[in-house]
C-alpha cells in the first residue's frame, strides 16, 4: 500500500524501519479518542466552509463505522499502518472513498496526537480517582470496624506511643486524599485543547478553535502552536502524581508485609491474596503487597524515562515524543491495577486484636505520659524527660513495665509524683488524652471518619 505521506519519496519504506517506527501496538488504545477528535474536527471544518453539510455527515458516519469495527475487534489492520491515526484515516478512505482524504485538512498528526493523549488522560484519570476512592472506602471500613483497637505507634521502627489502629489506617486515607488533589490539579492543566496548531505553526484555514474546544469539553485552547505540539508537561505531571500514589501504596504494602510476619502477627491477609512456596509447605507469602512494592520502581522508572526524553528536545515536535505513550500507558495500567488489588486486599484484612493489645501494653510505651505528668506538676520538660529516662532505665535493668511500678518506686525518682500518677499509666488514657485536632483520641478519629465517609458518599 502507498503511504499517505509518500508523495515526496522515491523508495518505499524499509520493512525494518516500518517495524522500528510503528507505534500501533500501543497507541491503538487511543482509537476512541482519535475518532472523537476527528468528528469534532469535521464539524469545525464545516463551520469554516471547508466541508459541506453532506460531506460532514458522510464523513462522521464513516468515522462511526470505523469506531464500530474497532469496538467489535473486526478492524482490518494492515502492516503499513504506522499508528492508529493513519490506520483510521486509511480505513475511512476505504469506506467512503476520496472524501476521506479531506479529514486531515487543517491538522497534523502532531496536534492530533497531542489532542488524543489529553482526551485519553481525562478519562483515565477520572477512572483512577474512582480506584483511589475504592481503596479509601476499604480503609475507612476497617478503621470504623476497629475503633476500639489500640496498637503501638512507631518511629524509627521502634515502639513509641500507643495509637488507635483506626488512626494509623486513616493516615493512608489522608495520603490518598492528597493524591486525588494532585490528579485534579493535573486534569485542570491538561484540559487545554491543542488541535488547530498544525504541525508547528498553526493552520491556514479559518477554523474556530474555541468551537472545537467546546465540542470536546475543553476549558481553553493552547496559545502557542510550537509549544502545543511538543508539550508533554501534562504527561510528566500525571506520571509524577502516579509515582506518588505508588509510593503511598508501597508504604502501605511494606507495613502489611511487616504486620503479617511471625515477628509482628498484627494482621492476617486473606488466603485468596497470598501464595505458597513450591518447596516449603508451611509458607503463606504476602506476594500481592510485595509486588505492589516492586512495581513502584517500575512507575518511577517511567517518570524518569519521560523526563530524560524531553530534556534535550528542541522545538517543536520530534519523533522522540513517540516514547511518551508506552511509559504513560504502562504507568496508568500499573497504578490502576495496584489500587484495585490493594482495595480488595484491605477489605479482607483480619486484625489480631489480642496481639495488638499485648503489643500496645508492652515496654515503655507510656514514658511520654509520665514525663508530661511531671510537666503538669510544674517540672520543666527537660528535667521531666531526664527523670523519666532514669525510670525507663530502672525498668530495663529490672525487666519491669512502667505500669507495674508502685507509687513509692516512682517517688524515689521525684517527689512530684502523687497517687493520681497511677491513673496516667494506662494505654487507654494515653490515647484519649490526644484529643486535639489530628490526635489519636477516639472522638477525633471517629469525627474524621464521618467527614471522610460523607465526602466519599
Q: What is the pLDDT of residues 89-135, one digit of tens each?
A: 999 999 999 999 999 999 999 999 999 999 999 999 999 999 999 99
Domain final residue, candidates 50, 77, 105: 105
Domain boundary among 85, 105, 125: 105
Q: What is the pLDDT of residue 362?
A: 81
Do 101 and 117 belong to one domain? no
Residues 6+ apart with CB under 8 A from 152: 159, 160, 161, 162, 163, 356, 359, 360, 362, 365
Long-range Cβ contact pairs of 16-25 (< 8 A, separation 24 or more)? 18/79, 18/80, 18/82, 21/82, 21/319, 21/322, 22/81, 22/82, 22/83, 23/82, 23/83, 23/84, 23/322, 23/325, 24/77, 24/81, 24/82, 24/83, 24/84, 24/87
Dist CA 247 CA 93 (whole Å): 47
Domain-located, residue 296: yes
Total domain count for the chain?
Answer: 3
In this prediction, residue 28 has a pLDDT band, given cuts at 50, 70 and 90, of very high
pLDDT for 276-289, tens place per residue? Answer: 988 998 889 999 99
Residue 5's pLDDT band (boundaries 50, 70, 90)?
low
118 and 37 share one domain: no
How far is 207 from 50, CA to CA, in rounded Å? 9
Confidence tier at 3 by pLDDT (50, 70, 90): low
pLDDT, mean of residues 357-374: 91
Q: Is residue 381 part of a domain?
A: yes
- Tens digit of pLDDT for each residue in 387-427? 999 999 999 999 998 888 999 999 999 999 999 998 888 99
Residue ranges making up the domain that contains 381: 359-443
pLDDT score of 2: 61
Say if residue 254 is in the same domain as residue 221: yes
pLDDT of amino acid 7: 67
pLDDT in tens, 30-42: 999 999 999 999 9
Q: What percent of the chain has pLDDT over 90?
A: 90
Question: Residue 235 belongs to a domain with what CATH number?
Answer: 1.20.200.10
Q: Measuring CA to CA, how many Å separate 413 from each of 368, 374, 417, 426? A: 16, 11, 9, 20
**CB environment 298-317: b (16+ within 10 A), e (fewer):** ebbebbebbeebbeeeeebb
pLDDT over 60 (residue 1): no
Catalytic residues, by residue number, are 156, 277
Give the span between the Cα atoms of 416 and 344, in whole angstroms. Answer: 52
Cell of 207: 477554523
Residue 376: inside a domain: yes
Do 100 and 121 share a domain, yes or no?
no
Task: Check the CA dihedral 193-196-197-199 and report its sign.
Answer: positive
CA angle centred on 362, ends 374 and 416, rounded to 5°: 15
Rounded CA separation 236/315 (Å): 17
Mean pLDDT check: name the lowest of 2-16, 351-365, 384-398.
2-16
Joined together, the cell numbers standing for residue 24 give 500501533
Q: How far apart are CA 79 and CA 24, in angstroms?
A: 10
Question: β-pairing, 150-155 with 158-164?
Answer: antiparallel
From the CA atom positions of the chain, what is the Rg in Å?
A: 31
Averaged pLDDT score across all residues of the chain: 95
* CATH number (domain holding residue 70): 1.10.275.10
Amino acid at each position: 500500500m502507498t503511504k499517505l505521506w509518500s508523495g515526496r519519496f522515491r523508495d518505499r519504506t524499509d520493512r525494518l524501519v516500518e517495524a522500528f517506527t510503528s507505534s500501533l501496538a500501543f497507541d491503538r488504545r487511543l482509537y476512541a479518542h482519535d475518532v472523537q477528535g476527528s468528528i469534532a474536527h469535521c464539524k469545525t471544518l464545516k463551520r469554516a466552509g471547508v466541508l459541506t453539510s453532506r460531506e460532514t455527515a458522510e464523513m462522521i458516519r464513516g468515522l462511526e463505522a470505523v469506531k464500530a469495527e474497532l469496538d467489535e475487534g473486526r478492524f482490518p489492520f494492515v502492516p503499513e499502518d504506522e499508528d492508529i491515526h493513519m490506520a483510521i484515516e486509511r480505513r475511512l478512505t476505504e469506506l467512503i472513498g476520496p472524501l476521506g482524504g479531506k479529514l486531515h485538512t487543517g491538522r497534523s498528526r502532531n496536534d492530533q496526537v497531542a489532542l488524543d493523549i489529553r482526551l485519553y488522560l481525562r478519562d483515565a484519570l477520572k477512572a483512577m480517582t474512582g480506584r483511589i476512592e475504592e481503596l479509601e472506602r476499604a480503609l475507612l471500613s476497617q478503621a470504623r470496624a476497629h475503633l476500639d483497637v489500640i496498637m503501638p505507634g512507631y518511629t524509627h521502627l521502634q515502639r513509641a506511643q500507643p495509637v488507635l489502629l483506626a488512626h494509623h489506617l486513616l493516615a493512608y486515607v489522608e495520603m490518598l486524599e492528597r493524591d486525588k488533589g494532585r490528579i485534579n490539579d493535573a486534569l485542570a492543566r491538561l484540559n487545554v485543547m491543542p488541535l488547530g496548531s498544525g504541525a508547528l505553526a498553526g493552520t491556514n484555514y479559518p477554523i474556530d478553535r474555541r468551537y472545537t474546544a467546546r465540542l470536546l469539553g475543553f476549558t481553553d485552547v493552547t496559545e502557542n502552536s510550537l509549544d502545543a505540539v511538543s508539550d508533554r508537561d501534562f504527561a510528566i505531571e500525571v506520571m509524577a502524581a502516579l509515582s506518588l500514589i505508588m509510593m503511598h501504596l508501597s508504604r502501605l504494602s511494606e507495613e502489611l508485609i511487616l504486620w503479617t510476619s511471625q515477628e509482628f502477627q498484627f494482621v492476617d491477609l486473606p488466603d485468596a491474596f497470598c501464595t505458597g512456596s513450591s518447596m516449603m509447605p508451611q509458607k503463606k507469602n504476602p506476594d500481592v503487597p510485595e509486588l505492589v512494592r516492586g512495581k513502584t520502581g517500575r512507575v518511577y522508572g517511567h517518570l524518569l524515562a519521560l523526563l530524560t526524553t524531553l530534556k534535550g528536545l528542541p522545538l517543536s515536535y520530534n519523533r522522540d515524543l513517540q516514547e511518551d505513550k508506552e511509559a504513560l500507558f504502562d504507568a496508568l495500567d500499573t497504578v490502576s491495577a495496584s489500587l484495585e488489588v490493594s482495595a480488595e486486599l484491605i477489605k479482607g484484612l483480619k486484625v489480631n486484636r489480642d496481639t495488638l493489645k499485648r503489643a500496645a501494653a508492652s515496654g515503655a510505651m507510656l514514658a511520654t505520659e509520665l514525663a508530661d505528668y511531671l510537666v503538669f506538676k510544674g517540672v520543666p520538660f527537660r528535667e521531666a524527660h531526664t527523670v523519666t529516662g532514669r525510670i525507663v532505665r530502672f525498668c530495663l535493668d529490672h525487666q519491669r513495665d512502667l505500669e507495674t511500678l508502685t507509687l513509692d518506686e516512682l517517688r524515689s525518682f521525684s517527689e512530684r509524683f502523687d497517687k493520681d500518677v497511677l491513673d496516667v499509666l494506662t494505654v487507654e488514657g494515653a490515647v484519649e488524652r490526644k484529643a486535639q485536632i489530628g490526635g489519636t483520641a477516639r472522638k477525633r478519629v471517629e469525627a474524621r471518619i464521618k467527614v471522610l465517609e460523607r465526602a466519599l458518599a
